[in-house]
A and B are shown apart, each in its own frame.
Chain A
Amino acid sequence: NAGVMQNPRHLVRRRGQEARLRCSPMKGHSHVYWYRQLPEEGLKFMVYLQKENIIDESGMPKERFSAEFPKEGPSILRIQQVVRGDSAAYFCASSPNLREGYTFGSGTRLTVV
Chain B
Amino acid sequence: DQQVKQNSPSLSVQEGRISILNCDYTNSMFDYFLWYKKYPAEGPTFLISISSIKDKNEDGRFTVFLNKSAKHLSLHIVPSQPGDSAVYFCAALEPDNNDMRFGAGTRLTVKP
Q: Which interface class (under 10, 10 to 19, 20 to 34, 35 or more) fits B?
A: 20 to 34
Chain B at the A interface: SS class: loop
CB distance from B31 to the nearest CB of A (A): 10
Q: Which B residues touch A45, using CB under 8 A?
A: 99-102
CB distance from A4 to the nearest CB of B (A): 7
Q: Give complex CA distance A93, B100 in Å.
A: 11
Q: Which of A35, A42, A98, A105 contacts B6 (CB 8 A)?
A: A42
CB distance from A98 to the nearest CB of B (A): 5
Q: Give complex CA distance A59, B89 in Å.
A: 18
Q: Which of B32, B44, B98, B102 contacts A44 (CB 8 A)?
A: B102
Binary flags per residue of A84-99, CB closer than 8 Å to B gives 1, else 0: 0000000101010011
Q: Which residues of A contact B (CB under 8 A)?
A: 4, 6, 31, 33, 35, 41-45, 48, 55-56, 59, 91, 93, 95, 98-99, 101-107
